[in-house]
């Protein structure tokens, strides 16, 4: 069904840094959901030969490219952290391209429903209205810090500085329709994901009965 329209039923999966968005999304993917990872899309746009690179270098200068031609992320992060105008210019370049690439990926998805992985879904203000359900991956803040320090070798203050730019746990939970609690091992995640997948499948079949039926 390569001409399948984007599914009527979609889920926006979000969560604070290190809460387990990728881990949980991969579990849904293994069960058959289509995944569209907006972070991966953003990364590809600023990779070597990425579609946003000419515009970024045009706006910020050639020294914002690293040796391989990708965006120099550390340099750009330092700039946009201290300069809101620069952040706005970067976002004006990236956001429409991310939207376009996200829509293109969703349009060719063939699963019974699509999960959009959007780290800043609540913060963005527009995403919640574009998906059927908002799913928050939740864990205690101390666990976020520990996981990101272990995974990226970042200092605690660096992780907390990123967390300070994101909505609070309470705000995210208040905005969510569904929640996966990721405060224990992977074994505790699976039943929650299976239960939600069954619910999403039932809802997607109710809305679009022919979709994903092989």
Given 3-state DSSP classes, what are the helix, strand and coil percentages for the chain, each rounded to the nearest 5?
Answer: 55, 10, 30
- Round to whole Å and give the CA distance between 49 and 55: 11
Please report whether residue 18 would count as binding ligand ATP according to CB under 6 A. Answer: yes
- Contacts to ligand ATP from residues 185-204, by CB under 6 A: 185-186, 189
Please check whether residue 180 is in contact with residue 193, taking contact to mean a CB–CB distance below 8 angstroms: yes
Determine phi and psi for 68, rounding to 5 degrees.
-85, 0
Of 119, 133, 196, 201, the one binding ligand ATP by CB under 6 A: 119
Residues 6 or more apart whose CB falls under 8 angstroms from that of 185 comprise: none
| Residue 4, burial from CB neighbour count under 10 angstroms (0-12, 13-18, 19+) | middle
| Least spacing, CB of residue 26 vs ligand ATP, in Å | 8
- 31 close to 197: Cβ distance less than 8 angstroms: yes
Determine the 3-state secondary structure of 117 from DSSP.
strand
20 interacts with ligand ATP by CB under 6 A: yes
In the complex with ligand ATP, which residue's Cβ is closer, 178 or 203?
178
Q: Which stretch binds ligand ATP (CB under 6 A): 76-84, 108-116, 166-174, 182-190?
A: 182-190
CB-wise, 2 or 157, nearer to ligand ATP? 157
Among 38, 46, 166, 182, binds ligand ATP (CB under 6 A): 182
Touching ligand ATP, residues 130-169 (CB under 6 A): 147, 151
Is 121 a binding residue for ligand ATP by CB under 6 A? The answer is no
Q: Which residues bind to ligand ATP, rule: CB under 6 A?
A: 15, 17-23, 119, 147, 151, 182, 185-186, 189
């Amino acid at each position: 069904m390569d001409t399948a329209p984007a599914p009527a039923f979609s889920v926006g999966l979000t969560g604070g840094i290190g809460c387990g968005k990728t881990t949980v999304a991969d579990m849904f993917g293994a069960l058959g959901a289509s995944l569209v990872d907006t972070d991966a899309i953003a990364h590809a746009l600023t990779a070597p030969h990425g579609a946003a690179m000419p515009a970024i270098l045009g706006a910020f200068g050639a020294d914002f490219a690293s040796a391989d031609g990708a965006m120099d992320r550390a340099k750009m992060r330092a700039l946009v952290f201290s300069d809101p105008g620069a952040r706005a210019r970067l976002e004006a370049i990236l956001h429409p391209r991310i939207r376009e690439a996200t829509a293109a990926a969703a349009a060719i998805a063939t699963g019974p429903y699509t999960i959009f992985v959007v780290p800043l879904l609540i913060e963005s203000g527009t995403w919640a209205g574009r998906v059927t359900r908002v799913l928050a991956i939740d864990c205690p803040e101390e666990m976020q810090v520990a996981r990101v320090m272990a995974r990226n070798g970042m200092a605690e203050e660096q992780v907390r500085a990123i967390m300070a730019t994101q909505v609070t746990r309470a705000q995210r939970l208040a905005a969510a329709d569904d929640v996966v609690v990721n405060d224990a091992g992977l074994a505790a995640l699976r039943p929650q994901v299976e239960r939600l997948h069954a619910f999403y499948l039932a809802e997607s079949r109710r809305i679009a009965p022919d979709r994903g039926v092989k």
